[in-house]
Structure 1
Amino acid sequence: MFDKKSAAAPALCNSRCVCLVSSGGGGRGGGGGEGLRCVLVKNLEFEPLSTTALILEDRPANLPAKSLEETQRHKMEYEEMVAGAKRREVKEAQRKKRQMKERHKQEDIISNAMVIWNTEILPHWDTMKGTRRVRELWWQGLPPSVRGRVWSLAIGNELNITPELYEIFLSRAKEKWRSYSETSSVNDSESEGASLADRESSLDLIKLDISRTFPSLFIFQKGGPYHDLLHSVLGAYTCYRPDIGYVQGMSFIAAVLILNLEEADAFITFANLLNKPCQMAFFRVDHELMLKYFAAFEVFFEENLPRLFSHFQTNNLTPDLYLIDWIFTLYSKSLPLDVACRVWDVFCRDGEESLFRTGLGILRLFEDILLQMDFIHIAQFLTRLPEDLQPHTLFSAMANTHMISRNRRWAQVSVTLQIEAIFSLIWSE
């Protein structure tokens, strides 16, 4: 009777029953062979094992049966659908394989480059930095492990700032913040009479900007591992250069340096970087000088990308609408961070010219897209560039950008425009 009952068990199963096959030896009574157990389950939903579970081979009983022609058509459609899914899976697997291969290749390149930089270049920096081989390696991107040191050496320390001097200005900043918090209500009532530098070096503005610095990384915001460090570097700088104070955009530059250098070295490099002519012109908001930089940029813009230049002119899109943000943050806000670091590599090698070459490279890379856009969409696009932008595509566009106009390089064009501005100012007086 037991065997008959077991044999009949499958017939009792329905959509609310789970049938399990068990091998011998697992039960309390022992014994071999296979048994079939049916467990009644309420409202149990199964995930399909494959896409076949989504297709009803036969229509429900209350509907007419499928014709042979319809059955064949549905079968062909299903097979085509499955084949398409398999093709997509194979394509995706191949893409991931290529991506992994490229990643391993890049890791090998970086590993080899790191050895060269550490053993051959950095120990002999002064004699090696200008050689063709080093400049080519530099263009390919600095290994992350040596990036901070190379930046620091390339930017230099003309201001002769020491770690001890940093500690002095940091102490002043902390004292200033303490007194600021104690007298914040008084400062608020007298803010109208405060100078621009005083207002912009305020704790509130620095705090606000830090909260907006690389928000996706969650490391510079309140409670993050680098929040206090960034706060210290920016605060110390406002005490070191009260004539400049804090200007929006500085937080991005300081943050990138902090990611690659120790605290005191980051401050030293930060102060010296901002002391460069181009950065000083922008952070002091020297309108006349900024206009000359924009004019020089447009000379090379028209030379390299005449169609896009004309399109921008037609839409009244002037360089200040996108260049200011790029220069103020050295592209670290608009570009993905890894790409921005590559831009910084070349900036440390070539100086301010590379910043404007990068801008032209971006415009060249997205020329076809930008030609289809109007004023508003161009401005929005250039403010926040695509997150999937790859370094090699940007640097390929930059390599095809020539910084020579009528046999004059960037420095010559820029200086000529600045001299003309000085003479124009003298004559007007």
Structure 2
Amino acid sequence: MTSSHTATTVAAFNKILNQPKLQRSNRTTNDVVEGVKRLRRLILVEGIPSAADPTLRSRIWKIFLRVNDISSDEFASYVSRGPCSVRDKIRNDTFRTLATDRGFKERVSEEMLVRLLEAFVWRNQDRQNSAAAPRLNFTYVQGMNVLAAPFLYTLPSELEAFYCFSRFIEFHCPLYVQPTLEGVHRGLKLLDRCLKTVDPELYAHLRSKNLSAEIYAFPSVLTLCACTPPLDQVLQLWDFLLAFGVHLNVLCVIAQLLLIREEVMNSPSPMRLLRTFPPLEALPVIGIAVTLVRDLPADLYEELVKHPYEIR
């Protein structure tokens, strides 16, 4: 991408983001819907030029997540309570979060992760005890540390990261973080069904080796591919998932399989290849995922859309 083209793309994003309707703290649903439509198109066609304007991604994520109200006093009150009931469980995971990514470690400390996750636990403990308790309860579960990492890396403050992460968990993929990981297991079953539909030969080969998605794709589904480096590609993939829906991560995992299809088909032991996916390449993965949507029956795609949040 040339510098002039990048500048034009940055200007196009800023034109949408700087609209007075989107800048208002009391922006309406219609304001957001129209802005989101235009941002989605730009993300799919151009991608977010975050290197040229480091503020773009955080501003766009807040629009997609509809994060309007941020209270520093509320966040500070959660942090001031100190260790929560699952502090040891959190600490057992946070030290190894994206441990091989130097850039992440330089920007996000383990203490930041612990503070955010404990604040989330305190927030939901209060909500469970309130008169308007939510239908689902939330606490810390496996994988939540990795899901929090992109928010702390991308958002300009812990405060904003906390509210974006909370909104994301509670509204976009609540079933992924239940104690049973119900949404994750549903996603893995749907991955098998979608793969069988779009590439029955590859599906049959994997099944002949006793390989189901539960065995080889659990980390990728659990973390929405955030476990597969490099981080800059993860963030680009998450731009797409936040724009169009986290359900599409299942198809993004299939896309990664299709990119190494030949090696998998020719391997007598595919699990050796699948134990660690190759470095993530967001653009080809997104391109394949978008085309796969058209190959799925309507009823299967509807299940896919709803699986992160619909309570059965």
Normalised by the size of structure 2, how large is the TM-score?
0.78
State which of 239, 252, 256 in structure 2 corresponds to 1:362. Answer: 256
**Counterpart contact for 2:176–2:222, Cα < 8 Å:** yes
Runs of 5+ in structure 1 lacking a partner? Answer: 1-104, 178-197, 423-429
**Counterpart contact for 2:198–2:292, Cα < 8 Å:** yes
Equivalent residue pairs, number: 283
Alpha carbons of structure 1 residues 414 and 251: separation in structure 2 relative to 1, 3 Å? closer
Alpha carbons of structure 1 residues 260 and 220: separation in structure 2 relative to 1, 3 Å? closer
SS in 1 for 2:138: coil
Q: Which residue of 1 aligns with 2:14?
A: 118
**Counterpart contact for 1:211–1:220, Cα < 8 Å:** no
State which of 98, 122, 129 in structure 2 corresponds to 1:214. Answer: 98
**Counterpart contact for 1:281–1:290, Cα < 8 Å:** yes
Report the more deviating stretch, 227-236 or 346-355: 227-236
> What are the Cα deviations for residues 233-273 of structure 1, in whole angstroms up to 9, with x where unaligned?
12211222355332232222222111111211100011111
Q: Which residue of 1 aligns with 2:166?
A: 271
Higher relative contact order (CA 8 A, sep 6+): 2
Partners of 1:230 and 1:393 lie apart in 2 by 31
Q: Which residue of 2 aligns with 1:143?
A: 49
Q: How does 1:5-44 map to 2 (within 5 A)?
A: none
Larger Rg, first or second structure (1 or 2): 1
Q: How does 1:30-429 map to 2 (within 5 A)?
A: 105=1, 108-123=4-19, 125=22, 126=32, 127-131=34-38, 134-139=39-44, 140-144=46-50, 145=54, 146-157=56-67, 162-172=71-81, 174=82, 176=83, 198=85, 201-202=86-87, 204-218=88-102, 226-242=109-125, 243-261=137-155, 262-276=157-171, 279-286=173-180, 290-374=184-268, 377-378=270-271, 380-387=272-279, 389-408=280-299, 410-412=301-303, 422=312
Partners of 1:256 and 1:249 lie apart in 2 by 13
Deviation at 1:363, TM superposition (A): 1.4
Partners of 1:231 and 1:400 lie apart in 2 by 39
> What are the Cα deviations for residues 406-428 of structure 1, in whole angstroms up to 9, with x where unaligned?
34462256659x99x95xxxxxx
Alpha carbons of structure 1 residues 216 and 311: separation in structure 2 relative to 1, 3 Å? same
Runs of 5+ in structure 2 lacking a partner? Answer: 23-31, 126-136
Partners of 1:384 and 1:391 lie apart in 2 by 16
SS in 1 for 2:117: helix
More strand by share: 1
Give the % identical residues. Answer: 18
**Counterpart contact for 1:358–1:398, Cα < 8 Å:** yes
Normalised by the size of structure 1, how large is the TM-score?
0.58
Q: Which residue of 2 aligns with 1:425?
A: none
Partners of 1:292 and 1:348 lie apart in 2 by 20
Letter in 2 for 1:283: V
